[in-house]
Structure 1
Amino acid sequence: MTQLRHIKFKRTHVRYLDKDNLASFVLQDKLQTLSTIAISDTNHWFLDKFPNLQKLGVVCEEKQDIEKDLSRLHKLHTLKLSSTRFQFFTLNVIFPPSLKKLTLKRCTVLDHHLHEIGKLSNLEILKLQECKFKSLKWEPDEGEFCQLQYLRMDLVDLVNWVVDDTNFPRLEHLVIRGCRDLEEIPLAIGDIPTLKVIEVDNSSASVVASAREIQEAQLDSGNDLEVRLGTSIEIQ
């Protein structure tokens, strides 16, 4: 099995890895996919052993921070960081600039994390699932998320989202689901020339209203923006 390149566990994740049993069945510099494995204080070393990883999934089993420098994984383009059910981890990761797809699930997100992610010049897909925004606000700096094409937010507690015409200049697809606290989709989102689709489901009525307003404004300007609306929630 010295040519093994992909290890992927479905519906479970690996909890216990040590140097002996891992080295026995995989040639370290061949491995391209490793998902999903648990990070702990005792096995954090092993990611450094696979310099050619392209896809990586990591789960945090306990209430702790995920602290890892991944900048040496120069070929990594897909990364998913998550925690087990009912637990949230705090992000403390140095991302490689090669990253194209990032998923964060059950993560506490601080403002500086978002700015660091926004500076990833190759990032095309960002999924935030069941995440807690520490400040309840997201305001990207000028020029951030310059290559992002797909943005999805599921069940996040974001309240105030501020965007100007320098953010998300290549965004094509926006998905908002279960965001009951979000006040609105920023109207500036509609001015992104590449935007094709906005999807909203199970979110506040004001988010639905802002999606409709964006669509109407774009139609008036002769742009064919598709808006897909599901259930809206009236917030008391």
Structure 2
Amino acid sequence: MPSEIENLVHLRYFALTTIGSVCNSQLFKLKSLQTLILSAWTKEYQLQLPCDVLDLPWLRHVRFDKGSSSFYLPDLVQKNLQTLSWFKVTGRDSRTTNFTKVPNLKELGIYIEGEVLPNNALDSLAELHQLEKLKVKTGRVERFNLPICFPSNLKQLTLSNTYLSWEDMDIIGKLPNLDLLKLKDFAFCGPEWTPKDGEFLQLRFFLIEHSDLECWNANANHFPVLERLILRYCLDLENLPNNFEEVYTLRLIELDNCCSSLVTSAMEIQQAQRGLGYEGLVVRDVTKIELPTNESSKERSEYAI
């Protein structure tokens, strides 16, 4: 990185993609910086970041690669920081997950790697009362535990490669404002899931991608306002839950690389709704076709997979 950049003391936005080193860069000189985006040119290369990179006083939005993410939270409380993705958590030191140092985060991406995490490693997430979007992805982790509770204001949650039990879903289902949930790459494992009554009351968008789920024991009461259901590579799931034709808010069921009986089950729900006078549901099997491009830009940005 050109050393002259460090002298641009009025710089507010800085984005850099490189295979060079930024570890020794004196980014702390950029006192006016509000947005920082650092990424490696190739996935094989991992940037080494300065340990004080999050201490800049006016930072609002920070984005790193998962492999190059920072695992040092600010030394002092940073009230301006709103976006942090990705932040690396390891099992070496639970003190690095004291999220009270960034109390006003609205969007957070956590990449977990390394040894077994303490049971309370992510419990301070509950102190992020402004947090609306959370992504959690694990790498080489022997065991991952959900925090005891999430911020009540959380609206969007994505879990990837976490290998949780479906029984842990009760913690997520109780979130009062959750309207988008994405479960990717065996976020939850096990052949059977039975949701509980009174959960997912605000969920509008639900994605399950790469799952060994076989039996989904749910009904319309468990997802009363669901609008979009996306199932990808759910090869063992043969039928959608009973009475899903009574989820009258459903607008889209999208299936990708799922068994034919699941497609048939979705078509039966569509026909049942039409018989009741509800014409809005679209069933889309995209296993061999491309998605249409006529969806609004607002929908594409809000529900980007």
1:160 is aligned, of 215, 219, 231, to: 215
Q: Structure 2 unaligned runs (5+)?
A: 1-30, 32-56, 289-305
SS in 1 for 2:238: coil
Alignment pair present for 1:39 and 2:100: no
Moved over 4 A (4+): 86-89
Query: Match of 2:23?
Result: none
With over 3 angstroms needed to count, the CA separation of the structure-2 counterparts of 1:78 and 1:151, relative to structure 1, is same
Deviations 1:27-48 (A, max 9, x none): 6111111100111232534422
Higher mean Cα deviation, 139-148 or 183-192?
A: 183-192
Query: Match of 2:144?
Result: 90
2:245 is aligned, of 166, 169, 190, to: 190
Equivalent AA in structure 1 for residue 84 of structure 2: L
With over 3 angstroms needed to count, the CA separation of the structure-2 counterparts of 1:32 and 1:174, relative to structure 1, is same
Deviations 1:140-190 (A, max 9, x none): 111210000000011111111011232111100000011101121114222
1:54 is aligned, of 106, 112, 122, to: 106
Q: Equivalences for 1:122-141 in 2 at 5 Å?
A: 122-131=177-186, 133-141=188-196
Query: Match of 1:177?
Result: 232
Report if the CA contact (8 A) 2:240-2:266 is conserved. Answer: yes
2:287 is aligned, of 213, 216, 231, to: 231
Cα distance, 1:132 vs. partner?
Answer: 5.1
- The 2-side partners of 1:208 and 1:79 are apart by 31
With over 3 angstroms needed to count, the CA separation of the structure-2 counterparts of 1:204 and 1:88, relative to structure 1, is farther
Deviations 1:118-150 (A, max 9, x none): 010100000000125343211111121000000
- The 2-side partners of 1:81 and 1:48 are apart by 18
Share of identical aligned residues, percent? 36
With over 3 angstroms needed to count, the CA separation of the structure-2 counterparts of 1:117 and 1:110, relative to structure 1, is same
- The 2-side partners of 1:136 and 1:81 are apart by 22
Alignment pair present for 1:30 and 2:80: yes
**Considering only aligned residues, what root-mean-square deviation do their CA atoms show, in Å?**
2.2
Which structure has more relative contact order (CA 8 Å, sep 6+)? It is 1
Q: Structure 1 unaligned runs (5+)?
A: none
SS in 2 for 1:166: helix
Deviations 1:58-102 (A, max 9, x none): 011236347311111111110000023x76752321211111000
Equivalent AA in structure 1 for residue 110 of structure 2: V
Higher mean Cα deviation, 219-228 or 146-155?
A: 219-228
Paired residues, number? 226
With over 3 angstroms needed to count, the CA separation of the structure-2 counterparts of 1:140 and 1:16, relative to structure 1, is closer
Report if the CA contact (8 A) 2:89-2:97 is conserved. Answer: no
In the superposition, the TM-score normalised over structure 1's length comes to 0.87
Report if the CA contact (8 A) 1:88-1:106 is conserved. Answer: no
Larger gyration radius, structure 1 or structure 2: 2
In the superposition, the TM-score normalised over structure 2's length comes to 0.68
Equivalent AA in structure 2 for residue 33 of structure 1: T
Higher mean Cα deviation, 204-213 or 95-104?
A: 204-213
Q: Which has the higher strand share?
A: 1
Equivalent AA in structure 2 for residue 30 of structure 1: N
